[in-house]
Amino acid sequence: QDIYDSQHIFDRVCDEHDIEHRLTKVNHPWTNGQVERMNRTIKDATVKRYHYDSHDQLRTHLHLFVDAYNHARRLKTLRGLTPTEFILNAWTKEPNRFRINPSHLIPGPYT
């Protein structure tokens, strides 16, 4: 399987989940900075700090980290809100910007 097949698979999965796949502008690498910064944050909290005996261990820890980040990490760029609070506030103020109600996607306690 070559890279072109992988790109087509990626685009198909995006389409199946109604996700708009956007690319950065040519010769504008700084537009990718937010993604690169988040990738660094995730790496620093996972693979650079812990040894995993399996991909399943990494996957489990990654899921827990992202949940904690989204629900507990207050971000200066979001005016002190967590990512979850920011999304729910945006839903309340401008629901037409969303395809579905995001509150249904947020796990409750003990889930």
DSSP states along 36-95: HHHHHHHHHHTTTT---SSHHHHHHHHHHHHHHHHHH--BGGGTTB-HHHHHHHHHHH-G
- Residue 6's pLDDT band (cuts 50, 70, 90): low
Q: What is the pLDDT of residues 78-99, one digit of tens each?
A: 999 999 999 999 999 999 999 8
What ranges do the domains of the chain cover? 9-97
pTM of the model: 0.69
Q: Give residue 25's pLDDT.
A: 82
Higher pLDDT among residues 80 and 102, named by residue: 80
Contact 68, 75 (CB under 8 A): no
Distance CA 61, CA 67 (A): 10
Q: Once rounded to an integer, what is the mean pLDDT over residues 16-27? A: 84
Amino acid letter, 99:
R
Q: What is the pLDDT of residues 63-75, one digit of tens each?
A: 999 999 999 999 9
